[in-house]
A and B are shown apart, each in its own frame.
Chain A
Amino acid sequence: MKPDGPRQQIQPASLSRNLSRSDDDDDQNPNPNPNPPSIDQSLDAIENQLSSISMFQPDSLSEPRMESEELVNGSFDEIEELPAKPAGVEEEEKLKASSSRVWTNASEMEEVESPSSPSSSGYAGERGSSATSGIDNGDFDRVPDSLVPWTPGKRHGDEDDASISWRKRKKHFFILSHSGKPIYSRYGDEHKLAGFSATLQAIISFVENGGDHVKLVRAGKHQVVFLVKGPIYLVCISCTEEPYESLRGQLELLHGQMVLILTKSVNRCFEKNPKFDMTPLLGGTDVVFSSLIHSFSWNPATFLHAYTCLPLAYATRQAAGAILQDVADSGVLFAILMCRHKVISLVGAQKESLHPDDMLLLSNFVMSSESFRTSESFSPICLPRYNPMAFLFAYVHYLDVDTYLILLTTSSDAFYRLKDCRIRIETVLLKSNVLVEVQKSMLEGGMHVEDLSIDSASRSGPVSPHSSQSRLATDSTERLRDAFNGVGGPAGLWHFMYRSIYLNQYVSSEFSSTINSTQQQKKLYRAYLKLYASMHKKGIGPDKTQFRRDENYVMLCWVTQDFELYAAFDPLADKALAIKVCNRVCQWVKDVENEIFLLGASPFSW
């Protein structure tokens, strides 16, 4: 999906030209004012701006239809992403600007060691020698991992850097110490990869010796992303074409997960003794890391830095929140009730706030550790964004197969007190039918794009996915879907994600039938990652939109001070209609926000 076909690129050079251009296009506006006054003024404003921008239309459908347009709130601004550039150039420029070293050419690494010739220094040996060749594998076949359902824990533990299969893995993650000792590898045996680990440390330290930092190495299709966290080095080697910023964010989370298990106090051990081996401290946590890495390909919370709620009737969530609040007042720091990765309710002690990343890491830790499911547990954990140096204590108990309660406290002897709290909470939840509602919601799913109505006179979607009103009620209203020959929602809407900025929560629609395989869902998330990264580069104003068409999707993104909307459409979707549908989605989200978000009494203090 390299949009190197016809594309429109707008340079920031002349504002006046851009403005006049907008004017010129006004009469071509296919959809000058489609909204009745009841619709939020800002929605209309942005819609007008969007529709007033000229579009490139391919001459014929037989041509590869690729276009990419990015526009910034009416006045054209700098293009954030230039996909037509040769790979490497973009990163190089960026990294130059931040005065860091980047090698865009693998041959430069020969200063450290020769990447492609293991026998460069006289070895006749077949295995275990220089390992950088793993990132220089031009002839790269993909191992179809995605066809196999994800299983927890270390896979392919028998592999090492000499294994062909290991070299073909699409995405590697490594954690090592600053002396080059392996701590974690997603694939393969850490000890067998000791030589590879040493190579990574050599590269990082070699650059550091020059008073610089290595952030990224590009080698053919592969990106090698480095993150140095004191004495802990994290490396990702990927050929998934995810943006550098996304991969770096994933390394940050991986480090956060390590801190959640051990706190940053391990750094002190390295200060005292660089030989320090932390693998015994992490014993048995393999599965926590592999589960987090797996979530990078399906959980939007990993890049949206927001959490998501299980859709529930307002009263139901209120009932859950009330009893949690009750225990929070009696010395619990945070009380969190979750169903899988979705929040049912959460409360914090006065003035305490919980970062969405901490919630992600905590729920990943709880869900991936099998022992939490079998009995009530009390475990020291650290919330890296709350206090990375110190432990809290987590009381964890599964109320049913998917629903679990986490009570966080600062006192190590609170187990029995928290157990009593849990019994009280559980009783109330059962009595008020919350757990039954939770199960129902799990079965029904959240927002379905097929339910979105485009009739602007009525409400944008079903009043509530969880009220007594049936979804059928919308069938009588006009649905653009009928006019459009595709599947999914109106105007070819396949999927959307809406992130409320002040709530720090997001809602993601269910996948429409067009994106029903894990493979397709992964692909869509990668498209979202790119979109997200291009919208979050520094130096861009707060209000912006992006419309991007390639052979897979039409992607539409709209970022305001209040929310971010990401939507994926059929690649043949009409632009004006797509914009209209996005407005409806926002209205729909507003209509049901009582049920899809946790409102009020939020412990989030920003």
Chain B
Amino acid sequence: MPSRRRTLLKVIILGDSGVGKTSLMNQYVNKKFTNQYKATIGADFLTKEVQFEDRLFTLQIWDTAGQERFQSLGVAFYRGADCCVLCYDVNVMKSFDNLNNWREEFLIQASPSDPENFPFVVLGNKIDVDGGNSRVVSEKKARAWCASKGNIPYFETSAKDGTNVEEAFQCIAKNALKTGEEEELYLPDTIDVASSSQQRSTGCEC
């Protein structure tokens, strides 16, 4: 419980296996990249402190496993998320087609209070591969999909050379922060003398 007010933002990264979720996160947090592929088991967690408009806040990044066998973890992982990052590989059409499923699955599981305006960010990763020659999803197509889902911000990234990674996460932080602003009212009761004896809950079990 820090005395200085700090905000913690929970960010979930979703997308098919192998699109580079872990690499994006690793590039962002540790500025490192490896070509070796290791599947994420369940989920991995990273934290990064970010300065944004004179405020310090912490991103709690939930890097999830893309494999279907881990999808049962849904509710547990998505609960209380401040932002959801949808990733696909611009060289794999299927990973783009699945964005819709990922988005809907997230909305069902996390059931945010205002699903229409829940902050998503879409990242098209691996734009560096083969100099862009093996690309199958055009930027135009991706942007059109994002527009149709309530103007989701879109970034084309390369986890390998770091292109747009910092910018994407700045946007993620900004969007997560925007919805985090609304404060919940905390109004506990006080005891009414007349009814207090009835209200007493777990009084005497010893």
Contacts and interface: CB of A to CB of B under 8 A. Distances in A.
Interface of A: 110-114, 119-126, 128-131, 177-184, 189-199, 201-202, 204-206, 208-209, 262-263, 265-266, 269, 272-277, 279-286, 305, 333, 351-353, 355-356, 380, 382, 385-393, 410-412, 504, 605-606
Contact of B41 (A121, A124, A352, A385): A121
B73 A125 contact: no
A276 B184 contact: yes
A206 B79 CA distance: 12
Interface in B37-63: 37-49, 58, 60, 62-63
B34 A386 contact: no
Contacts of A113: 41-44
Contact of B60 (A189, A194, A283, A352): A194
Given A194-B8, A205-B73, A333-B193, 15 more contacts: A121-B41, A122-B23, A122-B37, A124-B32, A178-B79, A180-B62, A198-B62, A199-B45, A201-B76, A202-B42, A263-B188, A277-B7, A284-B1, A285-B1, A352-B197
Nearest to A504: B206
Contacts of B191: 387, 390-392, 410
23 contacts: A122-B34, A123-B30, A123-B44, A125-B46, A126-B30, A128-B29, A129-B46, A180-B60, A192-B58, A194-B8, A194-B58, A198-B60, A199-B45, A202-B45, A205-B79, A206-B73, A269-B184, A269-B186, A277-B7, A355-B203, A356-B206, A390-B188, A390-B199
B1 A178 contact: no
Contact of B47 (A183, A194, A605): A194
A121 B44 contact: yes
Contacts of A131: 45
A191 B2 contact: yes
A129 B41 CA distance: 13
A180 B80 contact: yes
A186 B15 CA distance: 36
Interface in B97-141: 110, 113
A183 B6 CA distance: 12
Nearest to B179: A275
Nearest to B61: A195
A272 to B, nearest CB: 6
B188 A391 contact: yes
Nearest to A606: B204
B196 interface: yes
Contacts of B72: 209
B144 interface: no
B46 A410 contact: no
A128 B202 CA distance: 41
For the complex of A and B, the 10 pairs showing the least CB-CB separation, nearest first, are A179-B80, A205-B76, A274-B80, A125-B30, A265-B188, A195-B45, A194-B60, A122-B38, A263-B188, A121-B40
